[in-house]
Structure 1
Amino acid sequence: MSKRIETTDLNVYYGNFRAVEDVTITIEPRAVTAFIGPSGCGKSTFLRTLNRMHEVIPGAHVEGEVLLDGENLYGPGVDPVRVRRQVGMVFQRPNPFPTMSIKENVLAGIRLNNKRMPKDDQDALVESSLRGANLWEEVKNRLELPGSGLSGGQQQRLCIARAIAMSPEVLLMDEPCSALDPISTLAIEDLIAELKQKYTIVIVTHNMQQAARVSDTTAFFNIAGTGAPGKLIEVGPTDKIFSAPDVQATEDYISGRFG
């Protein structure tokens, strides 16, 4: 199910402003890749190019390639809606649809894509998705209640269940624990460790300890100054990046000397 992502000389623009410059990286399947770096260095912007979410901002465009198992996601005739089904997204703050029940939240993507499904199949998909997000046992007796009534950590897992229901090949997570308490954060981190058995996972985090705990590969982004584009400085196995990085700026950031 999971797939390899490769970007080559990727530049990301908002109008004439280049936000990210010349990123070349390979993101391996069935593994967790963490993007770290100071605020404003392009981590989240680059993350959003991996499923064309940045295009919802007028004037945004890219130069370069993003390949999903060899297919250029920006090739002629490629449907961005299909890309977003293949490459799911979990955002910084839990965002269940407030007027929908827990069950309706899980099925929201299916219905938005006009997929017709018998009730028994819907029920099976809701259960399997909630089990995949480690949420089923907590909510199985209140599926018709509003998703907004769950705790913050439960809401984030509901959003992960909603993404899983679309059968993606890649899961992008933009600071998925930044709004959560430590116990909920641990639950999400445990879930990420389980999900990587099936999916390619890319996570943006400002939490160095979290990156060290959950990721197999770490990529460090940095920025030269205000108005300069973000750049990928170094990428490698997480153990090496945190113990013996090749670039001094990486070590300075990880050790807390800046950022």
Structure 2
Amino acid sequence: MSKSITAKDLNVYYGDFLAVQEVNINIAPRSVTAFIGPSGCGKTTLLRSLNRMHEVLPGARVEGQLLLDDDNIYGPGVDPVTVRSMVGMVFQRPNPFPTMSIRENVLAGYKLNGSRMSKSQADDIVEDALRGANLWNEVKDRLGKPGSGLSGGQQQRLCIARTVAVKPEVILMDEPCSALDPISTLAIEDLISELQQEYTIAIVTHNMQQAARVSQKTAFFNIAGTGKPGKLIEYADTSTIFNNPSNQQTERYVSGQFG
């Protein structure tokens, strides 16, 4: 479990529009990498390309290579559904399935894949995933209740449990705390640190303090202007990005001069 991610000369398009240009990056296994930069600079587009989620939009495509370890996820014959089972995603707003119970939410990935299992196997998966998301003790006595009845922070941890239940190798997080209060945000950040022991994690965040707290590496993206492609400006250890960046654009952004 846990794989490296390598982008080589990666261009991401929506139709004829080049959204992200020539990204070269290597993300180590069992690490947390933060994507930062102003709105519209391609952070989320790049994140979604890491599990081919951007392809749900008509005309979306990539050029270049994107490797999980040594396997190009955009290679000929590669099934996007298989890629998404290996690279899970947690979205900006908690999105438990509203008609499903807490238990059913955790098992949703298996149900969608048509997997068969015994009740005891399902019970073990549910408990392991909820423990992995630090949610088991809070919900173990109400697994049959709707997931939508949980607090916002609990719902986001339920979505993380749903992601880890299917045993991915990479977890992508798109501003997972933007809709949460400070206490719930701290719980998610603590959880990210624990998940890092098993998973490769990439997180988009507009919160500079959060990037500094949770990540080992930070990638700064910027855009030259409206209609221009987003570009990776600097990628380095998080401490370097925030304390001694090599690019003036990075320094101006992390110091709050723009963005």
**TM-score, normalization by structure 2:** 1.00
Cross-structure match for 1:209 = 209
Alignment of 1:230 with 2:205, yes or no, is no
The structural deviation recorded for 1:25 is: 0.2
Per the TM alignment, residue 209 of structure 1 is displaced from its structure 2 partner at its CA by 0.2
Structure 2: segments with no counterpart, 5+ residues: none
Match of 1:40 in 2: 40
Q: Which stretches of structure 1, 4 residues or longer, exceed 4 Å deviation after superposition?
A: none
**Which amino acid letter does the alignment assign opposite residue 109 of structure 1?**
G
SS of aligned partner of 2:166:
coil
How far apart, CA to CA, are the structure 2 residues paired with 1:8 and 1:163? 27
Equivalent residue number for residue 153 of structure 1: 153
Q: CA deviation at 1:254?
A: 0.2
Looking at structure 1, the residues matched to 157 and 141 of structure 2 have their Cα atoms a distance apart, in angstroms, of 17
Aligned residues between the structures: 259
Deviation, structure 1 residue 7? 0.4
Question: Which residue number in structure 2 is paired with residue 136 of structure 1?
Answer: 136
Cα distance per residue 1:166-218 (max 9 Å; x no partner) = 10000000000000000000000000000000000000000000000000000
Shift of 1:236: 0.3
Q: For residues 205-246 of structure 1, what are the alpha-carbon distances to aligned partners after superposition, in whole Å with 9 as ceiling and x for unaligned?
A: 000000000000000000000000000000000011110000
Q: Kindly provide the amino acid, as one letter, of the partner of residue 51 in structure 1.
A: N
Determine the C-alpha separation between the residues in 2 that align with 1:77 and 1:60. 17
Q: What secondary structure does 1:126 align onto?
A: helix
Superposition pairs for residues 80-229 of structure 1, below 5 Å?
A: 80-229=80-229
Correspondence for 1:78: 78
- Partner AA of 2:187 in structure 1: A
Residue type matched to 1:203 in 2? I
User: How big is the shift at 1:96?
Assistant: 0.1
Q: Please, what TM-score do these two structures have when normalized by structure 1?
A: 1.00
Q: Which amino acid in 2 is paired with 1:122?
A: A
Alpha-carbon RMSD across the aligned residues, in angstroms, is: 0.3
Cα displacement (A) at 1:127: 0.2
1:91 is matched by which residue type in structure 2? F
What one-letter code is carried by the residue in structure 2 that aligns with 1:130?
Answer: L
Query: What amino acid is the match of 2:156?
Result: Q
Query: What code does the residue aligned with 1:47 have?
Result: L
